[in-house]
Amino acid sequence: MVHISALFRRLPSQHEDSSWKNLIVFSHIRSTMVKFGVHLFLWAERFDEAALPLIGKAKKMGFDGVEIPLIELEPLNVEETRRELEKHDIIGLGSVGIPLDKDITSSEAATRRRGVEYLKRCVEITSQIGGDAINGVIYTAWGKITGKARTEQEWRYSVEALREVCQYANGYGIALGLEPVNRFETYFLNTAADAVRLIKDVGMPNLKVHLDTFHMNIEEKGFCQPIKEVDKLLWHMHCCENDRGVPGSGHVDWKGVFKALAEIGYDRWLVLESFTPEMEKLAASTAIWRKIAPSADAIATDGLKFLKKMTKKYLKK
């Protein structure tokens, strides 16, 4: 049997250009219903052999897939991960935050090259575990703050690197999702409009948008319009409350979010992502200083229940 990810290839074109129409062609085959996922950062700071049982745990909770953090690649056993995913009949997706020493917008050519090769390896790993996308901060180093706005040169560096990685990823049937994050985590890409502009400049059909309601709550004027403007380029969705707590317990406009998703015919992933103070390194990076929910398991179970309720009301599942 051919894995679904193998179907996501770039269609041949007589005109190899960066036209807007050509960017949409990668989505010619889509699933018919949304799927629910959870980011394994909820329980583990790195994905090593000790974290493998989390795959089965997520499946028992009712999730269809897991986001596997690919920031540290050395601890990850690809073959064992693939077997565990197959054992529990659950899908693995790649989650990326480019480390500073692999920054593709660096002024140093050697650092940029390390970043490109790192992203290519993330593509390979995601393909090997049966996934069809890597998503996250894939356009600059996660957490890099210069105290200034992005420069045109940095933008060009990112465009060049992403174009090369996307071309490479096409051969694996892998899409890349750009996640705009808030101003305290990056100065480079903060809004959905930023992501769409970068996609147009890169000009590759497998470069998509990954939105996150936590970051949208900080950077966007609202939730509905950005989702509708991204439209079919939306490839991945993190459903997070405004305080990173259980979705539905804060002030994110979930009704507006799901109505917008229904309007654009969204049918891919709805993923819970959160962090707890117990994950000390991650908590420091994401400023989680207090208990935002009773437990990580509560975020997962209660959050999934809420997402399924909203999906049943507004989307097809």
- Phi, psi torsion values for 110, nearest 5 degrees: -65, -40
Query: Taking a C-beta distance cutoff of 8 angstroms, is the pair 296, 38 a contact?
Result: no
What pLDDT, on the 0 to 100 scale, is given for residue 245?
Answer: 84
User: How remote is the C-alpha of 286 from its chain's centroid?
Assistant: 16
Question: How open is the CA angle 223-229-235, to the nearest 5 degrees?
Answer: 85
109 is a domain residue: yes
3 is a domain residue: no
User: How remote is the C-alpha of 173 from its chain's centroid?
Assistant: 16
166 is a domain residue: yes
50 is a domain residue: yes
How many Å apart are CA 121 and CA 245, to the nearest integer? 32
What pLDDT, on the 0 to 100 scale, is given for residue 2?
Answer: 36
**Looking at residue 265, what DSSP letter applies?**
T
What stretch of H or E contains 283? helix 280-286
What pLDDT, on the 0 to 100 scale, is given for residue 28?
Answer: 38
19 is a domain residue: no
Q: What is the mean pLDDT of each run of 10 residues along the chain (317 residues)?
A: 36 35 44 88 90 97 97 94 98 96 98 98 97 97 94 98 98 98 96 98 98 97 98 97 91 97 97 72 61 84 97 86
The enclosing domain of 158 has a CATH number of 3.20.20.150
Q: Work out how many domains the chain is built from and give that number.
A: 1
Residues 6+ away with beta carbon under 8 Å from 34:
266, 267, 268, 269, 270, 311, 315, 316, 317
Q: What is the dihedral of CA 179, 125, 175, 3, to 10 degrees?
A: -130
Pick the catalytic residue from 67, 84, 154, 179. 179
Domain encompassing residue 42: 32-314
Orientation of helix 152-170 relative to helix 109-128, angle to 10°: 30
Give the largest Cα separation in the chain, rounded. Answer: 56
Query: Taking a C-beta distance cutoff of 8 angstroms, is the pair 210, 220 a contact?
Result: no
What pLDDT, on the 0 to 100 scale, is given for residue 9?
Answer: 34
- pTM, full prediction: 0.87
What pLDDT, on the 0 to 100 scale, is given for residue 3?
Answer: 38
21 is a domain residue: no
What pLDDT, on the 0 to 100 scale, is given for residue 274?
Answer: 84
The two tokens of residue 189 are 């890409």
What pLDDT, on the 0 to 100 scale, is given for residue 45?
Answer: 82
**Looking at residue 230, what DSSP letter applies?**
H
What pLDDT, on the 0 to 100 scale, is given for residue 294?
Answer: 75
Full DSSP string of 69-114: E-S--TT--HHHHHHHHHHTT-EEEEEEE--GGG-TT-SSHHHHHH
144 is a domain residue: yes
How many Å apart are CA 317 and CA 278, to the nearest integer? 34
278 is catalytic: no
Listed residue (36, 34, 87) closest to 66, CA to CA: 36
303 is a domain residue: yes
179 is catalytic: yes
How many Å apart are CA 181 and CA 209, to the nearest integer? 12
Pick the catalytic residue from 45, 154, 185, 273. 273
Q: What is the dihedral of CA 19, 23, 28, 34, to 10 degrees?
A: -150
